[in-house]
Structure 1
Amino acid sequence: MVGNTYPYQLDDWRKDINLALVHGIDGFALNIGSDDWQEARVADAYKAAQGTKFQLFISFDMAVIPCGLRADAERIRKYITDYQSHPNQMKFNGSIVASTFAGESCRFGTNDLNQGWLETLKSADMPPVWFIPSLFVDPSEFPRLTVMDGYFSWNAGWPTTNQEVTFETDKRLLDQLGGRGYMAPCSPWFFTHYGPETYNKNFMYSGDNWLFAERWEHLIANRAHVDMVEVLTWNDYGESHYIGPIEGAQPMSEAWVNGFDHQGWLDLQQYYISAFKSGVYPSVLRDRIFLWARLYPADADAPQDGIGRPSGWQYTEDFLWAMIFSTGGNVSVTLRCGDYAETAELSGTGAFKLRMPLTGPGGQVSATLWRDGAGVVDLIPAGFVFSRYPTSYNFNAFVASSR
């Protein structure tokens, strides 16, 4: 989210790019809005990537970028032509990759969605563009939208109702694409808590049932049908699905973001990125523990929070979610919350999913991996305390991992 990088300097981009690279990420989709200052941040991002194999492409946020007039197309065309020859510009089959968030209302001075985007991106004076937008339209419209070289399905990353995410949604989209490209989303969480005096967004999607891991596993199983995976997101703090460091400028989200580092998910997904790229899950070479959960019961009251409980709260359950990476042997794992504990026996080497209900009075959350009766990994994350008495309706995830 370039909109959250207002104070960034060149070195900030370099740090983010290097951190992403060492975790197996190939590039950033740079979501840009209508602010003029974002042009300088995008320029810094491309400059910081030089000398690395990291790739960048622009994702136009059409929820805020004007697109009703023919002249509005010039901003989009300029971004593409400015970086068409940059060594770190992401390309697909030789064409410049470009995407959007929304854009289904754009006409650019024409009377038709498809024609407006065709004249913007596919005119004779433009370089070849591989356009893979996230237009919120019925998939039955895909055949007539010839401007699309593929599709990015933003909402397929989360269960937006009381159902688990499967690959069935992706399959329905693929059926309508007729062999065109597909970029699938993968995301660990979604919670936003803005009142009517700001963005008026107060809802959540369930991150239960190891959502991040399960979604990656679906994409790996169907990797032959997926051209790219876009992880949502590196730094969208306002919607709580960030996996990068908490830095830059938050969009008034400090109340539910500060103190909730998510970089454990950044480490966790290295395992899945390797499997997606190669088709083979990598060997587990180190014992590790990953834990995440909300810090309060879903039905707990916070009367001092004037915004209220987010919609969708009833779709989440009070569990501690755990991923255990074991190198094998006679292994057991104990999960704890205060005085309550559960122990599971693990067999073999690999990645294991465990969960424990968060019940009773609560307390410090922790976990221990034992091998042959001796503690091998002991994770007691500072601040990971489950409480029955929230001061606000914070449904963000607390994420922790062993070193």
Structure 2
Amino acid sequence: MLTAATLVASILALHLPSPVIAQSVFAHVFIGNTAGYGVAQWTSDIKLAAKYHIDGFVLNIATPYDGTTSTQLSLAFQAIDALPASVSFKLLLSFDYLGGAGAWVDADVIKIMKTYGPNGAYFHVDGKPMVSTFEGPSNSNIQDWLYINGSIPGGIYFVPDWTSLGSEGFSTDLVDGAFSWDMWPDGPENVSTVADSAWVDWLSPARKSYMMGVSPMFYTDLPAYNKAWVWRGDDTWWRRWQQVLEVLPEFVEIVTWNDFGESHYVGPIYHPGVPNTPTANATAYVDGYSHQAWLRTLPYQIAAYKHAYNPTNPAPKVAKDKIVYWYRNAPATAGNTKVTGNNCKSDINLFGYQTCFAVSDVLQDSIFAIVLATKSVTATISIGSGEPTVFLNLTAGINFISRPFSGETGKVKVSLSSGAHGEGPAIVSEPVRGVANFNAYVQCAGGC
């Protein structure tokens, strides 16, 4: 018998993303860093992301539309359309209002969405193409989006990043959900879910979805762009995915696939996309610092999220023992730098807004590792000729371990009692050429 309560619940459920579409995980891709990509490069990146269980790319596009943006959008969709049926992957757009030549013109947004929104490769929620932004929450822009939504046949599923307004800073009537850029900590604190919880508490009563950001780190040294700061991110690749299991957002966005200048890339290093000018030379801290090993933990982390969000999804299971480890190669106090701890006002960070901290107050001089184990194992981490730190009885599944530098220098060695072992570049007392580099080495040993 259909009770009144059941009827109400059924009606409310119609306004939520379906469980098949929710619990999707995307990676943020800066189109501006893909100039020179061809279909083959897009295909390679898409297959790599899909291999590690990422469901799609959020393509960040900035003005002007003509040029790199229009060319690369076309090539990305061509690559998706040419994929074999066995590869399930989608694209969706995030309109950048702070980069490029300024705010988007309504006509261009409408043109783009009419072109790509109906494409089978585009990600849809409840039959509508999902659309996001990077900022742009001024009153005039909000009115623009109301007009844009009404100009797209069937409308859009609108999940903007208007983080600068904060939760409750705009009416939930304007959106279908929200994405928060608050995914790094402030000062010498670990990243928390305080901001996420505020967004969820505001969105949930209105039956709106939340897209949560996950990022492994943040370090930039690009004076030409008024950017030279670092946020604590030492254990964030572990901590943030654990927080996803607490918050259980409808969507997760990994920031980023390819922002090399801010060091939070998890995709392959594409050298033409790395800033390289005398005053904006990210190659100095990106070359030799691949982050692709972080992808190795994703199948388990994504499966854990999807299972927790919807228990009918398979529980995560580790297929092969592996250890993914990362670290900086020198103490935070070593080397010359104008980088600040936090985005605070300085000679370079002209628009800084946070309290300044010494870099050494923010960063932790340690080696960090995620151990994926098929059964109970013992792990070791050592530096140079020093005694190894031993981690006994790690459990089957996912484990996090770390050990401090403790003043030791030399090559980093890791091992598992099940046979996996690896060796990483040496930790040194002073960086090469005396210039500090706060980027992380990321490596994988074992069944990688």
Given that 1:367 and 1:378 are in contact with CA atoms closer than 8 Å, whether structure 2 keeps it comes out as yes
Q: How far does residue 126 in structure 1 lie from its aligned partner after superposition? A: 4.4
Unaligned runs of 5+ in 1: 108-112
The answer on 1:365 being equivalent to 2:389 is: no
In structure 1, distance between residues paired with 2:334 and 2:420: 32
Alignment of 1:168-179 (within 5 A): 168-177=194-203, 178-179=206-207
In structure 1, distance between residues paired with 2:35 and 2:242: 35
Q: How far does residue 134 in structure 1 lie from its aligned partner after superposition? A: 0.6
In structure 2, distance between residues paired with 1:257 and 1:154: 23
> Structure 1 residues 85 and 117, CA, compared in 2 at 3 Å: closer, same or farther?
closer
In structure 1, distance between residues paired with 2:189 and 2:215: 16
1:53 aligned to which of 76, 79, 88: 88
Unaligned runs of 5+ in 2: 1-29, 277-281, 309-313, 343-358
Q: How far does residue 158 in structure 1 lie from its aligned partner after superposition? A: 1.3
Given that 2:296 and 2:324 are in contact with CA atoms closer than 8 Å, whether structure 1 keeps it comes out as no
Could you list the per-position Cα deviations for residues 9-67 of structure 1 after superposition, in whole angstroms to 9, with x for gaps in the alignment?
Answer: 11000000111111101100001112422211011001101144210011111103566
In structure 2, distance between residues paired with 1:48 and 1:296: 41
The answer on 1:19 being equivalent to 2:65 is: no
Alignment of 1:216-255 (within 5 A): 216-223=241-248, 226-247=249-270, 248-252=272-276, 253-255=282-284
Q: How far does residue 254 in structure 1 lie from its aligned partner after superposition? A: 0.7
Q: How far does residue 165 in structure 1 lie from its aligned partner after superposition? A: 2.0
Given that 2:213 and 2:252 are in contact with CA atoms closer than 8 Å, whether structure 1 keeps it comes out as yes
**Matched-pair identity in %:** 31
> Structure 1 residues 3 and 269, CA, compared in 2 at 3 Å: closer, same or farther?
same
In structure 2, distance between residues paired with 1:67 and 1:395: 31
In structure 1, distance between residues paired with 2:139 and 2:110: 14
Alignment of 1:1-80 (within 5 A): 1-35=30-64, 36-37=66-67, 38-50=69-81, 51=83, 52-64=87-99, 72-80=105-113
Aligned to 1:349: 396
Q: How far does residue 350 in structure 1 lie from its aligned partner after superposition? A: 1.9
In structure 2, distance between residues paired with 1:324 and 1:254: 30
Given that 2:379 and 2:394 are in contact with CA atoms closer than 8 Å, whether structure 1 keeps it comes out as no
> Structure 1 residues 193 and 106, CA, compared in 2 at 3 Å: closer, same or farther?
farther
Could you list the per-position Cα deviations for residues 105-164 of structure 1 after superposition, in whole angstroms to 9, with x for gaps in the alignment?
Answer: 362xxxxx5323212x22245441011111121322232x53211100012x21133322
> Structure 1 residues 289 and 141, CA, compared in 2 at 3 Å: closer, same or farther?
same
1:101 aligned to which of 130, 134, 154: 134
Question: Partner amino acid for 1:346?
Answer: N
Q: How far does residue 181 in structure 1 lie from its aligned partner after superposition? A: 1.3
Aligned to 1:123: 150
> Structure 1 residues 369 and 14, CA, compared in 2 at 3 Å: closer, same or farther?
same
Aligned residues: 377
Could you tell me the TM-score, scaled by structure 2's length?
A: 0.80
> Structure 1 residues 233 and 385, CA, compared in 2 at 3 Å: closer, same or farther?
same
Aligned to 1:387: 428
Given that 2:63 and 2:102 are in contact with CA atoms closer than 8 Å, whether structure 1 keeps it comes out as no
In structure 1, distance between residues paired with 2:89 and 2:378: 40
Given that 1:84 and 1:127 are in contact with CA atoms closer than 8 Å, whether structure 2 keeps it comes out as no
Aligned to 2:440: 397
Given that 1:293 and 1:399 are in contact with CA atoms closer than 8 Å, whether structure 2 keeps it comes out as yes
> Structure 1 residues 274 and 106, CA, compared in 2 at 3 Å: closer, same or farther?
same
Could you tell me the TM-score, scaled by structure 1's length?
A: 0.89
Alignment of 1:195-206 (within 5 A): 195=223, 198-206=224-232
> Structure 1 residues 65 and 7, CA, compared in 2 at 3 Å: closer, same or farther?
closer
> Structure 1 residues 21 and 125, CA, compared in 2 at 3 Å: closer, same or farther?
closer
Could you list the per-position Cα deviations for residues 293-340 of structure 1 after superposition, in whole angstroms to 9, with x for gaps in the alignment?
Answer: 1111111132xx5xx1333322111010011122225x3221011122
SS at match of 1:261: coil
The answer on 1:311 being equivalent to 2:334 is: no
SS at match of 2:46: helix
> Structure 1 residues 147 and 261, CA, compared in 2 at 3 Å: closer, same or farther?
same
In structure 2, distance between residues paired with 1:76 and 1:170: 29
Aligned to 1:323: 370
Given that 2:118 and 2:129 are in contact with CA atoms closer than 8 Å, whether structure 1 keeps it comes out as no
Q: How far does residue 272 in structure 1 lie from its aligned partner after superposition? A: 0.5
Q: How far does residue 365 in structure 1 lie from its aligned partner after superposition? A: 0.8
Given that 1:150 and 1:180 are in contact with CA atoms closer than 8 Å, whether structure 2 keeps it comes out as yes
In structure 2, distance between residues paired with 1:62 and 1:116: 12
In structure 1, distance between residues paired with 2:151 and 2:267: 39
In structure 1, distance between residues paired with 2:44 and 2:191: 33
> Structure 1 residues 262 and 118, CA, compared in 2 at 3 Å: closer, same or farther?
same
> Structure 1 residues 385 and 310, CA, compared in 2 at 3 Å: closer, same or farther?
farther
SS at match of 1:122: helix
C-alpha RMSD of the superposition: 1.9
SS at match of 1:234: coil
Q: How far does residue 392 in structure 1 lie from its aligned partner after superposition? A: 1.6
Question: Partner amino acid for 1:159?
Answer: P
Given that 1:95 and 1:130 are in contact with CA atoms closer than 8 Å, whether structure 2 keeps it comes out as yes
Question: Partner amino acid for 1:322?
Answer: A
